[in-house]
Structure 1
């Protein structure tokens, strides 16, 4: 037998002689290792969901701070226990906030459900600060903007009406007390002609934590013909039925207001301001004087006269 063969036999004997005993020894060693290391203390951090019990609506209290969705807890226990533990096994953290008056909640180990033999070493955050506000109701006026332009020759008359004129807002006092208006979607008047138009318009979403008693309003807008103005100065006042009578002043200024086509159709020659002493009931059988309204009729047009009265003498 060569030296090389001798070495081969020695290695074979070392590996295969008493193979069963060697396997049992190896398994025992692995078991002892697992037992020793499984019994070692270890730490692990878990997330625990937060569930809050809020005050009833009748309490009129609103939590203004954002509660965390979860908190972190660090557990100490055997490695085997922690390896088998899941976040769901720890349940949830329940915060009883029914009174609506708590300003701070300290988180304690007793508030969590930890398995036997496992200790809670650290909680983060250790406390939760709370800020509350009273819930109030207040009437807020509705604001409706306008977009677009009516058809040529037409204009929007007055402002845009709203039904209702205001809405009831409900929410934290610190927010509701400073709200100036509830804004609705704009009213589009593009291409509209003469008439009255009514449309439902949705309200914009109120600020966070605030609610309205309605979600929309009825808006009303009136479209009329575009108004034009034209002035005629120094128009002589005529006295009807008394040719020799005089007026003071002798002339007036006339302003015409109406649709552009109606106003532009009027010529200065057709404008004859007048006073009518006899029709007013004045006694013209003897000399006298009286203040009378200056009269002027123009179809489809509003007439403004300055001054509106003159002194008539005869």
Structure 2
């Protein structure tokens, strides 16, 4: 009797595997510990989404699997599988994602970027609904020398005022507005590395800008570990480079997040509409702030983690280099 039972199990397993490939639902390629091998244990419980660009969706290599708990699959927009390039950001990495402007002279929708967008919000990102904080961490290699030519302008001399790195959209975003963002943006006439956050949908944003020159912080062709934290309870933000906090300043001295009054301050109780990486509008309806960059090990956490934890994460994957 044992032989028929084994045959039934084998057939059922094969049928299930075929169904998963057909439906595009990935099965884990690694055990839990291996899946989080590049994430410090103290950060794992807060890890909502994580992309290392070594895990294409089995049924569609133009999409990237989420190694975090949310299961939010990314689209590799316009470049598809060709956007994965062999480039090691740290000792445990393999491939990175390449983003770039394709044709600066045409107001088209062909720039390489990554992300996901849902006009009614993404339930998989519910951890950022009415959240007390958020953190963005990742490895970045900037290849360009400044903001790209503005393909939406008739003036060939016009350039964008920012370079998009990685961000979490608000619950009412058109594909550009963010709840939490890492980017390079013009601050009083000078490009700076910033953390930009918005607590309330439709509300004002606050920006925390690094003092140091962005070219020093992100030398062309060099992998750098960046992190930004957003505490919606008290309106504070912080920036980190290679595990160390950066000196910076807030661009506004008022209360754009409206946290001065009494009450429990959290983000708006809406699910984010998505994630954007290497530029805005992940739904590919417009080009904005493209980044000639490579990125790896992008992490989206539902807590404003501490400076000590960010330092530990950097040491964890670099071995203290």
**TM-score interval (norm. to shorter):** under 0.3
TM-score of the superposition, structure 1-length normalised?
0.16
Larger RCO: 1 or 2 (CA < 8 Å, sep 6+): 2
Which one has the largest radius of gyration? 1
TM-score of the superposition, structure 2-length normalised?
0.16
